[in-house]
Amino acid sequence: MGYLLQNVKIASEEELKPTNILIRNNLIKDIGEKITPSGEDTLIGCRGKTCVPGLIDLHIHGSYGINLMQVDPEKVLQLADKLASQGVTAFLATTAGKSIQAIKKNCSEISVAIAQQESGARIMGIHVEGPFFNKSSPARGANNPSWLRTPDLEEAKEIIEACKGNLKLFDIAPELPGAREVVDLMLSQGVTVSAAHSDATYDQAQKGFDWGINHLTHTYNGMRRIHHREPGIVIAALLDNRVWLEIIADGQHVHPRMIELIFRLKGLLGMGAVTDATMLAGLPPGEYDFIGTKVLLETDKAYLKEEGTLAGSIATGMDLFMNLCNWGFSEHDAAMICSTSPARHMGWTEIGEIRVGAKADLIILGDRGAAITFIDGQIAYQNQDTST
């Protein structure tokens, strides 16, 4: 059984022109104006709606009350199913915690979920954010400073073991003593290493990039401020072609013109949008306990009650895509930032693109977001209120 998407427009750098997409055996089998379906293909008339690659979120701590920092396998799988409604077809389950033991437990539970997964957005692996971060402000961000510590090689080995081969992205502050040894360990295991929650100077950051760090977590946030006398880690990353930059494109964490600055310096393949969403995304406004910290949730943001520091985001993957379009990026460019670029950065060659032979992870856009989400060639979500 397959699907033939008829009269669909593929977001591209060129003019959007109607075409057809044939999906068979979980792959994009053909793209063209004249495709003959078989008797087993389901025809879907898209009425000229736009199709983009499924969105990929490399940094998400949870949503809809599900907290990936205090979780069990069933909840992880529930989140994967829910993310399909927002057009997210792949993600890295992102965790942190009060202690190494808590982080190890989270990683173990997520690994069980990965082994059991049969539906929903692909859980591509685990992103561990912390605990080897700088305790100073603003570098620590919303992290409780009592949770943070200097890099420890043995603890890093324990985290790797708990992930059971699923650790894909690991964050560290490169200026801390012992960071080099942990970076070397992670790279030897094929793990992408990111600089994060760092007070690194320009020179300290550059050393980290020379070691092999090639990713900057939620750029501008949780790191040394830019200054004309000491440019710091942000400028070091912007000027280094080896480094790929995350941005939280929720309209709260980063001003749109600062995102434009990254685009002008790095290009579409040097940056990617992430939600950094927490369990609070999708919940009603109010006061919540978030890993032992009081957080106030409003309609458009969440922040620490005592300090006023932003506490992750409450955005969805589709929010990021639509924000970028509203800020002047084309649908093609927004799809590159939210899907193609993250996939290429992580080396995932079968997803993030609409081309013959790629995995059929696709979104048909409706008036208010995802009308239909395909994951692995099957309909994972269909908005009954949005006709196609």
Active site residues per annotation: 276
**Beta strand 271-274 with 244-248: parallel, antiparallel or unpaired?**
parallel
How does DSSP classify residue 86?
G
How does DSSP classify residue 237?
H
Taking the C-alpha atoms of residue 61 and residue 146, their distance in angstroms, rounded to an integer, is: 20
The residue assigned the tokens 């033939």 is 4
Please calculate the CA angle 284-141-94 and round it to the nearest 5 degrees.
Answer: 65
- Rg of the chain taking only CA atoms, in angstroms: 20
Residue 278 CA to its chain's centroid (Å)? 12
Q: Find out whether 266 and 237 touch, Cβ atoms under 8 Å.
A: no
Nearest to 347 by CA among 192, 139, 178, 209: 192
Taking the C-alpha atoms of residue 60 and residue 248, their distance in angstroms, rounded to an integer, is: 11
The residue assigned the tokens 């560290």 is 172
**Rounded to 5 degrees, what are φ and ψ at 245?**
-115, 125
**Rounded to 5 degrees, what are φ and ψ at 105?**
-65, -45
Sign of the Cα torsion 282, 283, 287, 288 reads negative
Peptide bond between residue 151 and the one before it cis (omega within 30 degrees of 0): no
Tokens representing 283 are: 């919940």
